[in-house]
Structure 1
Amino acid sequence: MSTTDWLTPLQHILNCQVRFITFSLSDWKGLVQQADTSWAYDDNRDKISEGNRAANNGKTWIVVKVSGNAVETLEIDGELKQAEAELITWTLQWNQAQQQLAPKPSTLSESESFALKLSEWIQQQLESEEPSYSIPDHLTAGGKLFAEMIPFLLVTEYTNGKQASYPELEKLLRSFLAEDILLIPLKNQEWLIWGPVSLLKEADSEFMEDEDEETVEDSLTSICHGLHEMLASEWIGECHLAVAHPVCPAKGIVETTVLLRETINLGRKFHVGTSIHLPWMLQLERLLNAIPEVQRSRYLEHALKRTELFVEAEMLATLETFFSLDCNVSETAKKLYIHRNTLLYRLDKLKQETGLDVRQFRDAVLVKIILLLYKVTKRN
């Protein structure tokens, strides 16, 4: 049984937040040295193994797995009772022992074996203080990765407890995208997918009848929506998907992985309920996220002192629709099924109470910022 299978049940049992955190070996040793209390298997503190524990400042960390320079741990908010900590430690050690005794899995396919080696190299670069951004020659698949490809990042939820295998997901992707794809498993529930650039031409052909010229971003968005719909219905259910502009994997796989991870994190943080995340649509969110939380909260508090009208359900829905339609009054009224004058009345009311007219670019930007900050603050 995988440790991830019982993460959610464990949170319910302990009645506190439990999450996976990965440390480097040096960071873990530093944490143990500074900890209020720590426990090492067989009292050998120089050896890091499954079940080792450290507690400090109201948090407890328990080692789940040691892989190379990475120490994967459970981070538990709150101090555990002695019996709870020992039970979790015993479970991890028993799980590790069972895995070692279990028969070895059947021989991996050539593509999966290569993907695992590439995944290990990517993880090492992401955790390194001085990462290499170019894939070493022995991992370039005979030069195949020097051609531009379309990168996607898939993060699954596994709400139904089902987990697909590498061959299963690879088969689905090849049937939807193309035979020439590259699937790389990263962390648990996270997959890096590379598809051929020819997909853009196929997407463009679907819009040949449209008078407006299709942009690269439009084509990527269309592909991403289609892929998400297929995965959600045919594979595993709820999932998050991000896509970026085509890039040469051999030169940009590490930077692209960082970008796509950031894109999904920003999308989930600022746009709850959205499953498709596009980096070119999250520029403002990226900027706001870089501002210290204290300053963000202070600005929002100041803005909401003037009126709570911003966050009333009707006004919130009106403004979000208005912004999603590029501040077009007529289209917004149609989308909301209200008369144009009704929409103008709501916008005038907002202007009277706040002094901000969202039909003016400067004021629209300020209101958009307030709404984004409100979403994050409300969730926290």
Structure 2
Amino acid sequence: MSTTDWLTPLQHILNCQVRFVTFSLSAWKSLVEQAESSWINNDNREVITEGNRAAFNGKTWIVVRVTGIDLEALEIEGEVKQAEAELITWTLQWNQTQQLTAKQNTLTESESIALKLSDWIQGQLESEETSYSIPDHLTSGGKLFAEMIPFLLVTEHTNVKQASYTELEKLLRSFLAEDILLIPLKNQEWLIWGPVSLLKEADSEYMDDEDEETVEDSLSSICHGLYEMLASEWIGECHLAVAHPVSPAKGIVETTLLLRETINLGRKFHVGTSIHLPWMLQLERLLNAIPEVQRSRYLEHALKKTELFVEAEMLATLETFFSLDCNVSETAKKLYIHRNTLLYRLDKLKQETGLDVRSFRDAVLVKIILLLYKVTKRN
């Protein structure tokens, strides 16, 4: 029986209002700290599990389900006797054990290992004393000590039926290689590890090019190919990030944090972009570290000089100009305008703002203003 099936009977038994509510993990911890009474798992007080409860201001909350980033709880209005609360806790824990047992009986070996790694990673991300090295019993025979290419996949639509672990793993093996590692993290988030040999394969496709391809170019190429495959054959719109090769056994937690930050920055500063590369977001990372009040104050001062920055045509022109490394000829071609038309726009910007984006110093300032404008406008 699912937990939702006994919500109505539970209301009749307790003779009070019962409903489901959602908490972020931090909000739940704050509630427990100020609660008049609470019960948590004494075996590991840092981990929130089904059955944990707290009582405050005439209400009792009991955790029903933990997803990794938030939790669902029963909110009971009115007095709950100690024996009743303990019985509900026992029922939830028993139900969770039964579900895990049933699921584990149908898991493949690779999924079983992946779920154990997922639990460990989530525990480290929530812990105050993080361990960055995977315990020996989870290193899968030592193969995780070899360097691999890490990707983070975040699906976009919550209402789309998610593919099963087995389906996604099969799809990734057909595109990347047989020797991959797929780890489900929170809802709609997957950590993917591919073999480092993919870099050599990517390089071989460009052997005729005059310029030798960098590692970043190869990683970007692999990421674009993987994204197109996933978007067309699996889930539709999604976000994908990739980082430099690293040994999962030694860097899986740090890499997960880096890739999550990369996707968050990409979605924050570059709406409409689905592929996010950490080495392309260095300035965005720096700006994001500045308090929002200071960012808004600086932007307000900059935009007092002119409204030209926020015109759609000028925004598109500058975005293209910066994406092509401030190359005037290439920008004019990309925008399908005459070179003189582009120079006119840039001269108009210089005349009204005093900033000439053809000079390095002014180009940096304008780029910062544009990034801050994007974030402030959305906020």
TM-score range, shorter chain: 0.7 to 0.9
Q: Which residue of 2 aligns with 1:364?
A: 363
Q: Which residue of 2 aligns with 1:21?
A: 24
Please state whether the residue corresponding to 2:162 is helix, strand or coil. coil
Q: Specify whether residues 163 and 200 from structure 1 end up closer, same or farther in structure 2 by C-alpha distance, changes over 3 A only.
A: same
Q: Which residue of 2 aligns with 1:45?
A: 38
Q: Specify whether residues 184 and 46 from structure 1 end up closer, same or farther in structure 2 by C-alpha distance, changes over 3 A only.
A: same
Per-residue CA distance 1:134-191 (angstroms, 9 max, x = gap):
1111111111011110000001123552111100000000000000000011111111
Structure 1 position 134 matched with structure 2 position 133: yes
Please state whether the residue corresponding to 2:209 is helix, strand or coil. coil
Q: Specify whether residues 62 and 219 from structure 1 end up closer, same or farther in structure 2 by C-alpha distance, changes over 3 A only.
A: farther
Q: Which residue of 2 aligns with 1:114?
A: 113
* Contact 1:321/1:332 (<8 A) preserved: yes
State how far apart, in whole Å, the 2-side matches of 1:287 and 1:298 are: 17
Q: Specify whether residues 50 and 137 from structure 1 end up closer, same or farther in structure 2 by C-alpha distance, changes over 3 A only.
A: closer
State how far apart, in whole Å, the 2-side matches of 1:238 and 1:71 are: 21
* Contact 2:52/2:62 (<8 A) preserved: yes
- Cα deviation, residue 71, structure 1: 8.6
State how far apart, in whole Å, the 2-side matches of 1:235 and 1:71 are: 24
* Contact 2:65/2:72 (<8 A) preserved: no
Per-residue CA distance 1:292-345 (angstroms, 9 max, x = gap):
000000000000000010010000000000000000000000000000000000
Q: Which residue of 2 aligns with 1:175?
A: 174
Per-residue CA distance 1:168-223 (angstroms, 9 max, x = gap):
00000000000000001111111100000000000001111111110000000000
State how far apart, in whole Å, the 2-side matches of 1:53 and 1:318 are: 56
Please state whether the residue corresponding to 2:222 is helix, strand or coil. helix
State how far apart, in whole Å, the 2-side matches of 1:143 and 1:159 are: 36
Q: Which runs of 5+ in 2 are unaligned?
A: 4-20, 41-48, 78-87
**Letter aligned with residue 250 of structure 1:** A
State how far apart, in whole Å, the 2-side matches of 1:54 and 1:271 are: 43
- Cα deviation, residue 45, structure 1: 3.4
* Contact 1:65/1:71 (<8 A) preserved: no
Please state whether the residue corresponding to 1:306 is helix, strand or coil. coil
Q: Which residue of 2 aligns with 1:31?
A: 31
* Contact 1:266/1:285 (<8 A) preserved: yes
* Contact 2:50/2:92 (<8 A) preserved: no
Q: Specify whether residues 101 and 49 from structure 1 end up closer, same or farther in structure 2 by C-alpha distance, changes over 3 A only.
A: closer
Out of 98-107 and 304-313, give the one that drifted further. Answer: 98-107
Q: Specify whether residues 197 and 29 from structure 1 end up closer, same or farther in structure 2 by C-alpha distance, changes over 3 A only.
A: closer
State how far apart, in whole Å, the 2-side matches of 1:162 and 1:246 are: 31
- Cα deviation, residue 241, structure 1: 0.3
State how far apart, in whole Å, the 2-side matches of 1:347 and 1:159 are: 43
Pairs within 5 Å for 1:317-332: 317-332=316-331
Give the RMSD, CA atoms, in angstroms. 3.2
Relative to the length of structure 1, the TM-score reads 0.81
* Contact 2:154/2:240 (<8 A) preserved: yes
- Cα deviation, residue 19, structure 1: 7.5
Pairs within 5 Å for 1:185-224: 185-224=184-223
Q: Which residue of 2 aligns with 1:292?
A: 291
Relative to the length of structure 2, the TM-score reads 0.81
* Contact 2:180/2:194 (<8 A) preserved: yes
Q: Which residue of 2 aligns with 1:7?
A: none
Q: Specify whether residues 316 and 30 from structure 1 end up closer, same or farther in structure 2 by C-alpha distance, changes over 3 A only.
A: closer
Q: Which has the larger radius of gyration?
A: 2
Please state whether the residue corresponding to 1:357 is helix, strand or coil. coil
* Contact 1:50/1:66 (<8 A) preserved: no
**Letter aligned with residue 161 of structure 2:** K
* Contact 2:31/2:54 (<8 A) preserved: no
Q: Which runs of 5+ in 1 are unaligned?
A: 4-17, 39-43, 83-91
* Contact 1:153/1:191 (<8 A) preserved: yes
State how far apart, in whole Å, the 2-side matches of 1:187 and 1:307 are: 44
Identity of counterpart residues, as a percentage?
Answer: 82
Q: Specify whether residues 49 and 147 from structure 1 end up closer, same or farther in structure 2 by C-alpha distance, changes over 3 A only.
A: closer
State how far apart, in whole Å, the 2-side matches of 1:358 and 1:19 are: 48
